[in-house]
Structure 1
Amino acid sequence: MNDKTDPIEPAAPISAANATMEPVVQPPAASTTVKGGGVMRSSAIFSGMTLLSRLAGFARDVVISAALGASAGPAADAYNTALNFPNLFRRIFAEGAFAAAFVPAYAKTLKTEGEAAADQVATDALAAVAAVTVVLTILAQLTMPWLMTVINIGFLDDPARFKLAVVLTQITMPYLPCMAIASLLSGVLNARGRFIVSGAYPILLNLIMLAAVVPAQGGQVGAAYAASWGVAVAGVAQAGLCWWAARKAGANIRLSMPRLTPAVKAIIITAVPAAIGNSATQINVFISGNLSSFVAGGRTWLATADRLYQLPLGLVGVAIGIALLPRLSAAVASEDRGQQQASMDEATVLSMALTLPATGALMAMPYFLIDALFTRGAFLQVDAVNTAQALFQFGWGVPAFVLIRILAPAFFARGDTRSPMAFALVSVAVNAALAIALFHLGMGVSGIAAAVSAAAWTNALLLGATLWRRGHYRPSASAMSRLLRIGVASLGLAVVVGAASWARPLLQAPVQTVMEALGSGHGAKEIALLLVVAAGGLTYVLLAFLTRAITVAEVKGMIRRAR
């Protein structure tokens, strides 16, 4: 499941909610152009760009949720379907198997054969992926009425929702080839050590969609049309920006007819195992989408919850995973086991230091978060309640989603794509079985979210156990001790924000009084949420220092390396 961006990712189980169109920056393979500085410093670049994108995405989501609602009308579910369908293929062609196979091939050619040879590989790969995704887009648009009867069985009982979903999905499908092109060019930039544009281009989607929705006329349906057209326009803009940046970085990539060159064949062969794994995860999307389509607003509840739990995944898991792969690949190539251990320990501890407190907040105050952020306009209280239930279930899966991003590079750095593929298939089976069972046992949409989290933990545990068994990675005693202390600090945060959520009426009343005295009857719940989040964050920081999960020396070191 993957916002938010709004972004779920190839190695993790995903749900029908994962339709935020938030692209994932492609990892750079080890090359001479990628500068050193450790996992922390490299991740900061990605996290900074991702944070800007997520903030813009959050503003977009708040506006769109207020305009479309969730269960009150067909627009929201149709819109989320329109985002989700091209997302299925994007995970394979734009940010999945093909891109993951292309980036190391390009970086290796760049290092061993020079720029001209590498750019020819990129030119041929670009032609191939563009041709395939354009054909897929045309076929999908022509057959969309029939496809919709398969991917959203529940919509058949609501002709208005069905028809709107068909038309909106036809509008958004051209985003697929645009994003495939942008993602490949982003990989070129990363291999050349240029991270700013590749991390920032997702922001264009959010800004363009906001510009399309804010002035939209025609109520909920009009806003849904505007948002969908915004997606199509944003795809062209993102591809254009990445093309310009790649050319400016010195990459001589050209437009050409597709050719099945030896380099393209090698990329395809390398991509096949991951493609199978990625395609298998789409079974989860199919099942989750069909189950949620039977509940009015179900798709939208999942999508809204997804946007919040994807935030730590996008800011932490993706960024650290991207920074880890080139450093770990170099350590494996040089057989430097000390560096391998240090890289994995640093990535694991850092990721959990940023993820576990987020998990505590998502599980301790899910309704407070959703109600304060999204309940306005056409997004009703009943929508907030159901979304909060899904968010709670996603919350306990967040550490697993991030760990997958940290553990999978340990396989990729050794050229092993088969093991992660096999584990992804196992997690798919877990997800599918649990989603169907929990949905029909009365949990409804929140049962789908619980199944996604359970499948993610299955995947993460299989990855971790295999690395342990093979002797490739076992957390050091120091790392385990730090993780325990981080857990204690995160638990303290959860207790504080959970108590504040329980006492919310008492906390919000004085804020409301102040706002009314200032002449505004709005904003009290948002300000109360900010105060509670600040209190929870302060509690975590204090406990982290008291338990020595974080030390002053380490903070100084981080600042020094960042400079």
Structure 2
Amino acid sequence: MSLIRKFATVASGTMASRILGFGREMLMAAALGTGPVAGAFYAAFLFPNTFRRLFAEGAFNAAFVPLFAKEIEANGMDSARRFSEEVFGVLFSVLIALTLLMQLSMPVLVATIIAPGYASDPAKFDLTVSLAIIMFPYLMCMSLGAMMAGMLNSLRHYFAAAIAPVFLNIILIAVLAWAWWSGRDERQIGYDLAWGVLASGLVQLAIVWFAVRRTGIRVRFRRPRLTPNVKRLLWLAAPAAITGGITQINTLIGTAIASGQDRAVPALAQADRFYQLPLGVVGIAVAIVLLPELARALRAGNEGEASNLQNRSVEFVLFLTLPATAALLVISEPIIRVLYERGAFTADDTVLVSAVLSIFALGLPAFVLIKAFTPGYFAREDTRTPMIFAGISVAANISIALLLFPSMGAPGIAVASATAGWINALLLFGILVRRGHWGRDAGLLRRIPLLVLSSALMAVALWFGAGFLQPWLGPDASLIEQIGALALLTGCGMIVYFALAFGTGGADFRQVMRSMKRKPGAAAPATTDENAP
């Protein structure tokens, strides 16, 4: 299977999850708006979700995957299975203890870390604590699931791990539909959603568990022991957890600061949901596929293939991310109006959320590039350097957020997040180049400015198109008219961008098709203009 086809396999599952996520957010916005129950739910869910990204996806994709793949190649499947059982025993025990500790400490955590601004509102504070206690075991399910997903990715079975997250949105949509049908009030809906999150964690774990068993590996519980392999994993995973979850760390910090202002927390969460679509579909897909492929190339001593993989990944993410950034900058308000503005979600909410989204868009290329740059460190078992850069990014995020929030509100949090993302991305890239781990690619350097130009011209076309279609995009139009006008606008924007990208040479259609057929591990072509993805 070619590199781009692997990207597409993972991205298809993520795309399905994100599209259903929009459906979920539309229903939640109509049911809860940006009110106190919405704020409590988003703050409570963010806590276990952040831990999931830190200790599950970040740590295991960065540390477990290369070590598991090394065991397969060096000692065979039996040795890899024993290693996975050693890790499972330690992980399961740690998660049990962590879950109990966090649930007992939840009132203190909400008051000091999750949403300190809610402490002045006892009803909102108590609701946030209750919802967080219900949802925190979701972390355990997803952490064990991330280990299973790491095994599947190492074995080049990508689809089950990519499709499992879809069930979070399927279950929450079902919960919201049932709540609407039965006429439940906002507080009851908040509790229903919390139990739905926990149920989805169990379903997702079951999916990847059975997928691993279908590969012929049965992971059994072993008494937790710090074997040499487990110690090596923990040594790599600790900094990788911080690095892999940098976006979530910044989001958690932003939420804690934003809890001091009404409507700010749900506004950030609703904008985050939209810009997570290109980040998840493109950035996470590239990170999941690139890490094991890069690790294999480096272990084989094939520096040329490793360099080609990195350059093609960056070119791929920029090809798809730059137009998304341009579109979100120009038409964020009609997008939010069409998706969210109904029920409890008002026109004022549209203005706030669209402002946050347009600022988030400025950081989108940086966050996607981080996903493409970090495998260059992790595949070489260097998790410390990205951790240092993540720490610098977090410090910048906190400083800028505290400076801007009093005057700008939620948009100030978005500015801080975008700036921190660019600082992290530039540091990662600079050190890769300095160490000689990033091969110069003349074709990539020539095409990037052309992709930027194509995206900018598409943005101009969207600006004029949105003005022309304003009677059908405005709040006075019907929902069908709004959806049709937005679909026409985005469709025309895509046509303009792809025509410009291929017409100017920013992308080469024939090279794209050839790259889809070329398998990773085949001899990498020389780094010239013909190296298009």
Alignment match, 2:523: none
Describe the SS at the equivalent of 2:197: helix
Alignment match, 2:465: 500
Cα deviations by residue, 1:379-420 (Å, 9 ceiling, x for unpaired): 111111111111111101000011111111111222221111
Describe the SS at the equivalent of 2:233: helix
- Structure 2: which amino acid aligns with 1:477? A
Is this contact kept in 1: 2:60–2:146, CA < 8 A?
no
Distance 1:199 1:287 in 2: 28
Cα deviations by residue, 1:303-335 (Å, 9 ceiling, x for unpaired): 111111111111111112222223322333333
Q: How does 1:21-420 map to 2 (within 5 A)?
A: 37=2, 39-70=3-34, 73-151=35-113, 152-216=115-179, 217-275=183-241, 277=243, 284-420=250-386
Describe the SS at the equivalent of 1:97: helix
Alignment match, 2:446: 481
- Structure 2: which amino acid aligns with 1:456? G
- Structure 2: which amino acid aligns with 1:310? Q
Is this contact kept in 2: 1:365–1:501, CA < 8 A?
yes
Distance 2:375 2:246 in 1: 20
Provide closer, same or farther for how the CA distance between residues 250 and 309 of structure 1 changes in structure 2, counting only shifts above 3 A: same
Describe the SS at the equivalent of 2:374: helix
Tell me which of 418, 421, 434 is aligned to 1:469: 434
Distance 1:279 1:538 in 2: 35
Is this contact kept in 2: 1:511–1:528, CA < 8 A?
no
**What residue ranges of structure 1 are gaps of 5+ in the alignment?**
1-35, 513-520
Number of matched residues? 515
Distance 1:560 1:78 in 2: 48
Describe the SS at the equivalent of 1:378: coil
Distance 2:48 2:435 in 1: 38
What is the Cα deviation at residue 281 of structure 1? 7.2
Provide closer, same or farther for how the CA distance between residues 283 and 106 of structure 1 changes in structure 2, counting only shifts above 3 A: closer
Distance 2:455 2:434 in 1: 29
Tell me which of 480, 489, 493 is aligned to 1:523: 480
What is the Cα deviation at residue 484 of structure 1? 1.1
Cα deviations by residue, 1:36-91 (Å, 9 ceiling, x for unpaired): 52x21221111111111111222112112211111xx3110011012111123212
Percent of aligned positions that are identical: 39
Alignment match, 1:32: none
Is this contact kept in 2: 1:331–1:340, CA < 8 A?
yes
- Structure 2: which amino acid aligns with 1:540? Y
Distance 2:252 2:473 in 1: 41
Cα deviations by residue, 1:464-496 (Å, 9 ceiling, x for unpaired): 111122222144221111111111111111111
Distance 1:439 1:355 in 2: 28
Distance 1:211 1:452 in 2: 32
Deviates more, 1:190-199 or 1:227-236: 190-199
Distance 1:146 1:266 in 2: 33
Provide closer, same or farther for how the CA distance between residues 509 and 430 of structure 1 changes in structure 2, counting only shifts above 3 A: closer
Cα deviations by residue, 1:227-247 (Å, 9 ceiling, x for unpaired): 111000111111111111111
- Structure 2: which amino acid aligns with 1:212? V
Distance 2:229 2:439 in 1: 36
Distance 2:316 2:362 in 1: 18
What is the Cα deviation at residue 342 of structure 1? 1.9
Distance 1:158 1:261 in 2: 48
**What residue ranges of structure 2 are gaps of 5+ in the alignment?**
520-533
What is the Cα deviation at residue 276 of structure 1? 5.2
* Larger helix share, 1 or 2: 2
Distance 1:355 1:300 in 2: 25
Alignment match, 2:455: 490
C-alpha RMSD of the superposition: 2.1
Distance 1:358 1:331 in 2: 31
Distance 2:296 2:149 in 1: 21
Is this contact kept in 1: 2:374–2:386, CA < 8 A?
yes
What is the Cα deviation at residue 549 of structure 1? 1.6
Provide closer, same or farther for how the CA distance between residues 552 and 99 of structure 1 changes in structure 2, counting only shifts above 3 A: closer
Is this contact kept in 1: 2:31–2:344, CA < 8 A?
yes
Describe the SS at the equivalent of 1:250: coil
What is the Cα deviation at residue 560 of structure 1? 4.7
Describe the SS at the equivalent of 2:343: coil
Distance 1:283 1:350 in 2: 26
Alignment match, 2:493: 536
Provide closer, same or farther for how the CA distance between residues 278 and 46 of structure 1 changes in structure 2, counting only shifts above 3 A: closer
Distance 2:474 2:240 in 1: 53
Provide closer, same or farther for how the CA distance between residues 179 and 394 of structure 1 changes in structure 2, counting only shifts above 3 A: same
- Structure 2: which amino acid aligns with 1:136? L
Provide closer, same or farther for how the CA distance between residues 260 and 415 of structure 1 changes in structure 2, counting only shifts above 3 A: closer
Distance 2:234 2:424 in 1: 25
Provide closer, same or farther for how the CA distance between residues 280 and 482 of structure 1 changes in structure 2, counting only shifts above 3 A: closer
TM-score (norm. length: structure 2): 0.92
Deviates more, 1:459-468 or 1:115-124: 115-124
Cα deviations by residue, 1:349-398 (Å, 9 ceiling, x for unpaired): 11100000000001111111111111111111111111111111110100
- Structure 2: which amino acid aligns with 1:51? M
Alignment match, 1:16: none
- Structure 1: which amino acid aligns with 2:15? L
